Amino acid sequence: MRTEHAIIVRGLRKTYGGHAAVDGLDLSVARGEVFALLGPNGAGKTTTVEILEGFRRRDAGEVSVLGADPRDRDRAWRGRIGIVLQSTGEFEELTVTDVVHHFARYYPNPDDPEKVIERVGLGAKRGARAKVLSGGQRRRLDVALGVIGRPELLFLDEPTTGFDPQARREFWDLVRDLAAGGTTILLTTHYLDEAEALADRVGVIARGRLVEVATPATLGGRNTASARVRWLAPEGPQEAVTGTPARLVCQLVERFGGEVPELTVSRPSLEEIYLSMIGEDAR
């Protein structure tokens, strides 16, 4: 299995009581890539990720994570990955400094805890107890624990659930900084705008199978799909669906002799494409 990929999966299968939670899934994630795995609840996302992390055994298929089979994981391999779960744990009475320094001792070559605290944006809170941190600050602490071991690969499970809009965007900046530093990131999220903002590629999983993998801009052919053009004419609001929106806009500009009132041009959103892909599973 090629070294330029952090993750390679071929024919992955996992069943529970005769039901295939993961049914012949193929997936590859390049080193240094931010990859978002999208899918409804029960689609097989969690099972797939837990197999990649080494927490769950597969029934069939080949899996390589950082060049090794997670089924044969050892301490050295675990030190090369970082995991940020939806809830890492509670450290109510410990300070940020206490928690990060404590977790650093689990790794053979940890990053500098004080630098990590600064990197995740908690420098001003290093002496604060975990119980007084906001939700966004607690997630930053979770990320600090996930990256303290200098991981080559970071798993982020629904990292911004419950965040307010400002906290989400601050967290996105943190993820971008980690990716810029060369960390490979596998992200699971239900927020389509989050996947569009962060991911180099997205994969949509439904009923245990990977439906499609593409960039957010091209998933489901959304970059070439018909566009919806709206504008305001003297007789009222107008709308047209066309495969050549630029031509229609030029015609409108000529008709109006310049600016077209309330002109908008839009192709299907990532959410619309995603919902069409998962079909009945969206209900």
pLDDT confidence band for 1 (50 / 70 / 90): very low
What's the CA gap between 4 and 244, in Å, rounded? 39
Q: What is the pTM (predicted TM-score) of this model?
A: 0.84
Q: Which residue has the higher pLDDT, 18 or 9?
A: 9
pLDDT, averaged across the chain: 91
Contact 73, 83 (CB under 8 A): no
pLDDT digits (tens, 9 = 90+) for 75-102: 889 989 999 877 656 788 999 999 999 9
- What is d(CA 88, CA 90) in angstroms, rounded to the nearest whole number? 7
Model confidence pLDDT, tens digit, residues 247-272: 999 999 999 999 999 999 998 999 99
Quick one: pLDDT at residue 257?
A: 94
Residue type, 193: D
Degrees, nearest 5: CA angle 218-195-151: 120
Q: What is the pLDDT of residue 48?
A: 95
**pLDDT for residue 140:** 86
Please report the pLDDT score of residue 89 as a whole number: 62
The pLDDT of residue 2 is above 60: no
Residue 40: pLDDT over 50:
yes
For 205-224, what is each residue's pLDDT tens digit? 999 999 999 999 999 998 88
Give residue-wise pLDDT tens across range 135-187.
Answer: 888 888 988 999 999 999 999 988 887 778 888 888 898 889 889 989 999 99
C-alpha 235/C-alpha 206 separation (Å) is: 45
pLDDT (mean) for 121-131: 92
Q: Where are the beta strands (DSSP E) in the chain?
A: 5-16, 19-30, 34-38, 60-65, 81-84, 153-157, 184-188, 201-206, 209-214, 227-233, 236-242, 264-266
Asked whether the predicted pLDDT for residue 34 surpasses 60, the reply is yes
